[in-house]
Amino acid sequence: MSEHVNHLGQPMSFAVPNWSERLPPPRTAMQGRFCRVVSLEPERHAAALYAANRKDEEGRMWSYLSYGPFSSFEDYLAKMNEWLKEDWHIHAIIHETSGLAAGVASYMRIEPEAGSIEVGAIMYSPCLQRTTAGTEAMYLMMKRAFDELGYRRYEWRCNSLNEASINAAKRLGFQLEGILRQANVLKGHNRDTAWFSIVDREWPQIRAAFEAWLAPDNFDSTGRQRRTLTQIRSQHP
């Protein structure tokens, strides 16, 4: 039974005093130690992204997306320009070591009145997969949503059969909310969608775990992590 009831004795959820509509995310860059997250500009980023994506010779990174793989740079560029017409805030992730764009991630389903935002359309090339830069990019985007803008809810959705995406969501601190059955049809196949979230009351502990993981003393002289992000979170629940 909820501790909150209205004047009719009906259960209500907790109060959110002084709530006001949030601002949409700005287009300014987010700078970390290992990466920089910037607004996507095809003329600056498309060639490097296409080259990085081509390192996935089997096309595994596209299996659970509604687009790709792309047989030519022209096809990729055309699709990128289509993405820019969507109601997304699309970002290129620049790896500080190379100075080149190596992946893409977007703010989607932006609902300022509810304080809810999704991170999606994540396309990490092999150059960014399983890297510190790739994890830091997700931290920077979360930090902007929660700390800079005051959003209450941060979402992640993926194909329920996409084991890599599900494992990534859990590693980053998202909680599974459920499976939406037959949510879509992609590339001729049914898609059940796994829906995850982080809410604002969970963010302080998640942020602390990210910052402990990203700290210089968590990496040895070769750049190898001493403690995993999952280990850090389990030690400080």
- Going by pLDDT thresholds of 50, 70 and 90, the confidence category of residue 236 is low
- Token readout for 107 is 């703010």
Domain boundaries, the chain: 20-235
Three-state secondary-structure class, residue 48: helix
**80 neighbors 42 (Cβ within 8 angstroms):** yes
The verdict on pTM exceeding 0.85 is yes
Separation between Cα atoms, residue 146 and residue 155, nearest integer Å: 12
- pLDDT reading at 234 higher than 80: yes
pLDDT at 237 over 60: no
Average pLDDT for residues 171-193, to the nearest whole number?
97
> Residue 80 pLDDT more than 70?
yes
* Average pLDDT value for residue range 62-79: 95
Superfamily covering domain 20-235: Gcn5-related N-acetyltransferase (GNAT) (3.40.630.30)
Q: CA–CA separation, 30 vs 28, rounded Å?
A: 7
Contact 174, 165 (CB under 8 A): no
Residues 179/160, Cβ–Cβ less than 8 Å: yes
What distance in Å separates the CA atoms of residue 2 and residue 47, rounded to the nearest whole number? 54
pLDDT of 138 strictly over 90: yes
Evaluate whether 37 touches 93 at the Cβ level (below 8 Å): yes
